[in-house]
Amino acid sequence: MDNVTHAALGITAGVIVHRRGGSLPAAALAGLLAAEAPDLDIFIRQSGDPLVAFRWHRHFTHSFVFMPVWAVLSAWISAWFFRRRHNIGWRSLFLPGLAGALTHLLCDGCTSYGTMLLWPFNETRYAWDCLPIIDLFATLPLLVLAVLAWKRHSRNLATYGMLWFVSYALLGLLQHARAEKKMERWLSDRRIEPERIAVKPTISNLIVWRAVWLHQGQWQTAALRLAPFSEAKIALGETRKAWTPGSPGNPPAYSEGAHAIADFSRFTGGWNTYDQVPGGIAIGDIRFSTLPTSSRPLWAVHCGPNGTAAETELVMNRSINAGDGSKLWSLIDGSEPGFQSLDK
């Protein structure tokens, strides 16, 4: 999730587990630092590797086995910062640091990107798809309570903040399960047998969910609206061709382009789109887009016909088009004219 949420979770975790009689501010700082530390992987760079950001983000730095490293470093930094106070050693801040690091891992696991929690034992990217990357409803109450807990030296306020966030995540799990069940039933009623299907949260809400499924070589997107005390609805979105190893224009085997596509496919789990673009082909990630009904990937690998390194690049497309905001709001408030009942 975003770094503000990670910071607030780290503070609350540090305050909750801090040793009685110890320094609460030092524990809060240790928790905060450890909760932010796993994202230092964004500074990993490797020249000539267009996929380095995808290869290493949420990799070993986000694993359970690496948590003690962040805990020790954050505890040492916090102890040094508060070194003029008595009875503050880094060992007394290890547990707040460990708790802060744990919140980062579990929080990222709640999103859809995928986190290698069990590295090095396996390299599965765990994603529970119950929270969006940014959700103000989850973050703002947590942030207010975290700041007040630090300022007022209150373990109770920190506990309330953590309970709020956990409850919100559990609500996300419930909504995700509902969305999956309704989507599968809707497809079954229409005798559509998808090869793959996924349901993911959308930005800053748990009402509208993005559904994607593969059927007869095409990806289909849809927005599902699951509001309380309201009929469940679906709005079909755009389609896009799925990439296969036999798609026209694929780079030669063993070329840089072929290796890039293979690496990208491992990251996406095979949720790949296919487009022909000037100078070659584009292999995108259908799981993520700016709108629930859009099939335009946020990122894609562009490869030329020869598959050389010069012809291979990662292209980011996070631009927001005019009308995207109003479109999203119409999906959330239910006024989107394309909605139809999900239960019929």
Put the strands of the sheet holding 313-316 in their side by side order: 272-277, 280-285, 299-303, 313-316
Q: Enumerate residues 6+ apart whose C-beta is below 8 A from 139.
A: 1, 2, 4, 5, 8
Contact 289, 203 (CB under 8 A): no
Question: Rounded CA gap, 138 and 1, in Å?
Answer: 11
Distances from the Cα of 322 to the Cα of 81, 216, 319, 327, angstroms: 47, 32, 10, 10
HSE value, Cβ hemisphere, 13 Å, CA-based, for 298:
11
| Token duo for residue 305 | 């016909």
Q: What is the pLDDT of residues 76-113, one digit of tens each?
A: 999 999 988 767 889 999 999 999 999 999 999 999 99
Q: Which two tokens stand for residue 141?
A: 């109450």
Q: What angle do CA 133, 135, 141 make, to 5 degrees?
A: 135
| Phi, psi values for residue 292, rounded to 5° | -60, -30
Reading the chain (344 residues) residue by residue, the pLDDT tens digits are: 999 999 999 999 999 999 888 899 999 999 999 999 999 999 998 877 889 988 899 999 999 999 999 999 999 999 999 988 767 889 999 999 999 999 999 999 999 999 999 999 999 999 999 999 999 999 999 999 999 999 999 999 999 999 999 999 999 999 999 999 999 999 999 999 999 999 999 999 999 999 999 999 999 999 999 999 999 999 999 999 999 999 999 999 999 999 999 999 999 999 999 999 999 999 999 999 999 999 999 999 999 999 999 999 999 998 888 899 999 999 999 999 999 999 87
Distance CA 328, CA 51 (A): 30
User: What pLDDT does residue 45 have?
Assistant: 85
Q: What is the pLDDT of residue 48?
A: 78
Nearest to 205 by CA among 185, 228, 221, 222: 228
DSSP string, 167-216: HHHHHHHHHHHHHHHHHHHHHHHTT---SEEEEEEETTEEEEEEEEEEET
Q: At what angle do helices 24-36 and 136-152 cross, to 10 degrees?
A: 150
Radius of gyration of the chain from Cα atoms?
22
User: How many Å apart are CA 206 and CA 223, to the nearest integer?
Assistant: 12
Is residue 99 within 8 A of residue 159, CB to CB? The reply is no
**Residue 113 Cα distances to 42, 102, 190, 282, angstroms:** 15, 17, 30, 20
Alpha helices per DSSP H over 190-313: 256-268
